[in-house]
Amino acid sequence: MFKILISDKLEKEGVAILTADKRFTVDCKFGISPQELLSIIKDYDALIVRSGTQVTAEVIQAACKLKVIGRAGVGLDNVDLEAATKKGVVAMNTPMGNTTSTAEQTMSLILALARNIPQAVASLRSGKWERSKFTGVELNGKVLGIVGLGRIGSTVAKMAKAFGMVILGYDPYLSEEIAAKNGIKLSCLNEIYKTADFITVHIPKTDETTGMIGEAQIALMKNTVRLINCARGGIIEESALIKALQEKRIAGAALDVYDVEPPDFQSPLFKLDNCVTSPHLGASTSEAQLNVAIEIAQAVKDALIGEGIRNAANFPTLSVESYKVIEPYLRLATQMGRFAGQLVMGRISKVTVTYSGAVAQEKVQAVTMALSHGLLSPIVGEDVNAINALNIMKERGIVLKEVISTQEGEYVNAILLDITTDKEPLLGTLSSNKQPRIVKINNVYVETVPEGHMLFINNNDRPGIVGVIGTLLAAQNINIAGITLGRENQQGIAVSVVNVDSQIPESVIEKLRKTDNILFAKSIKV
């Protein structure tokens, strides 16, 4: 008999899936306090939450029997994944449930913005008849720029095509063939900024995407452009957006998300007549709530009774015996993938993973899934996990090939990652104490620990480069934990990988990029 605790409001159809099974005892304690959750979690095999319950490391540590945490929604921000993984608890979410809902919210805001609907409603309710004041624009024939062509962005594209819109899309990890099949012309960001009539963003919020549309990008846009954000607050820089709206530099904006939620209601965003706002309603439809409830209930049920784990965000399903052998390779593969995913330049068309040594004797799909998860995480964000990573790669037209090598290579036990762009393979192995190491990057031998904050540099092999790096980091009080150097040949191309104790500001990266003989510089978080 399994005991399941549901601590946030879940649609009755989801609850019914669990209560109908005699193997489960289900307790619904909606809105439970953190103190009560901490005191009773020890009795439960599974916990189902939405966004209200904070599943902290303390809660997970107190959960003696817990096997599964299910989040009825896309994100897992309220679940301590590291603690769950360390405890051996599967953490899963529902990435499919709100796709249509969020896409429809995007189209609703596009229409409301184009036709000045909120402003017209407010005017009419105040007793005014101002038809000419609210003249709008048609969507037919207009260019819609979509930044991010994952599930939601692609669904928006399909809906917008029904309105006769011309679709430009930016997604460096989607193949041209897949995009063309969906009637989307792949474009660079600058082309979208310069030509689109409407621009909508559908990308995860990361260090690189935060503020990606700011003053410089808005300056490239037509003064008739309208910006929409139903993804995450902060992707469009709020201060730059406010300034552009106030100066009528752009025609309008529509926001469903904000830098801080709830937002500051004194912000000009809520007073400008060319800005449409809504309170993060992307997933707020009865259908989406129903879909995620059914999806998470079925997933938790299957996980508990041993019928498979899907949409797990921390680890794939493995037998106890296989897991003991594969576990260090799962970690190596994930870290190699995350490292490569932040370094890769250009569109990925093919990924080849070659296994040799002990790992090649096991079922390597779990390791490939972990590597794919790591590779796609910096690109796709919270929608990807170790279970769905392979499907997302397929959706994006990325060919994945596994190779089992029986020949003795440079290292007895190794994983070779070859990403088809303009870069050379990445080679990883385990040290004698089974710790992950990256030992070859861009055809240059190194031995670096893929962990924490890192700085990757390609440079001409000239004196003084290490000194420049050390001086710039020291000026920011950033401590160097380790540094690895390698080169193709004397005076040739060199690689520097620096492990540091804290995040490196983008201003430092920019200074490095402008330094003589430094060809490429990028901060990485693994």
Which residues have a catalytic role annotated? 232, 261, 280
Structure tokens at 246: 């106030």
Q: Are strands 426-430 and 414-419 parallel, antiparallel or unpaired?
A: antiparallel
Distance CA 380, CA 173 (A): 9
Tokens 């003989």 correspond to 517
139 HSE (CA, 13 A, CB side): 23
Cis before 262? omega within 30: yes
- Residue pair 501/481 in contact (Cβ under 8 Å)? The answer is yes
Q: Are strands 480-487 and 493-500 parallel, antiparallel or unpaired?
A: antiparallel
Q: Are strands 436-441 and 444-448 parallel, antiparallel or unpaired?
A: antiparallel
Distance CA 219, CA 242 (A): 13
- Residue pair 500/449 in contact (Cβ under 8 Å)? The answer is no
Distance CA 360, CA 405 (A): 7
* Helical packing angle, 365-380 and 320-343, nearest 10°: 30
Element (H, E) at 16: helix 12-19
Counting other chains too, the contacts that 314-320 makes at CB distance below 8 Å and 24 or more residues apart are 314/81, 314/84, 314/85, 314/90, 314/91, 314/385, 314/386, 315/85, 315/90, 315/370, 315/386, 316/366, 316/369, 316/370, 316/386, 316/387, 317/366, 318/366
- Residue pair 192/145 in contact (Cβ under 8 Å)? The answer is yes
Could you give the 3-state DSSP secondary structure of residue 430? strand
- Residue pair 467/434 in contact (Cβ under 8 Å)? The answer is no
Count of beta carbons in the 10 Å neighbourhood of residue 65 = 12
Q: Are strands 453-460 and 493-500 parallel, antiparallel or unpaired?
A: antiparallel
Count of beta carbons in the 10 Å neighbourhood of residue 371 = 31
Structure tokens at 221: 């846009």
Count of beta carbons in the 10 Å neighbourhood of residue 140 = 9
Contacts of residue 300, Cβ cutoff 8 Å, sequence gap at least 6: 4, 18, 46, 48, 68, 70, 92
DSSP state of 134: G
Residue type, 396: R
